[in-house]
Amino acid sequence: MELYFTRHGRTNYNDLGLCNDDPSRDVHLTETGVKQAQHAAEALRHAGLERIIVSPLPRTRQTAEIINRYHHIPIEEHPDINDIRSGFDGRPVTDYFAATGHDPLHVRANGGESLLDHKQRVSGFIEWLKRQPNAAILVVAHEETLRVVIAHFAGNISDERLRDIEVDNCQIIHYTV
């Protein structure tokens, strides 16, 4: 099985430094984000994708639709790859980090998820994904989600180091399982 992962393209909320985990908010790709997705589409043009899976947040679907112009396959949503429920939707990312920085693995600020809660949710998705029929699958998700994916496949990254993993917008990560 060929697994491809990418982070969505740059968004208006990225530019504003705001948290978003509510799919009803107007968070969309910027012109830069569209260009990033177009570059990812070119890079994946010959990947032979058979499935594309996105989170319920519109920015992942918008990115996937651009990539899908070469594949013309259905795009599926899976809630387990949603971004972390920060408890700070629509508020500055800096506020979220200030509230959770003393113990990011365990703190559930404003009714949100801790990093370990999020990791458990995403880990369940990874196990589900590995049970899918052999295929070439693209997953379009979020930086926090992809940190868990990278740590899972690397196998040697501690939970305390999750936040050290950086994933650029539309960076493509590939694993053969």
- Numbered residues of the known binding site: 7-14, 59
The pairing of beta strand 136-141 with beta strand 172-176: unpaired
Q: What is the DSSP string of 8-57?
A: PPPBHHHHHTBB---TTS---B-HHHHHHHHHHHHHTTTS---EEEE-SS
Token look-up 């107007």 returns 26
Maximum Cα–Cα distance across the chain = 45
Phi/psi at 166 (5° precision): -110, 135
Binding-site members for substrate are 7-14, 59
The two beta strands, 75-77 and 51-54, are parallel
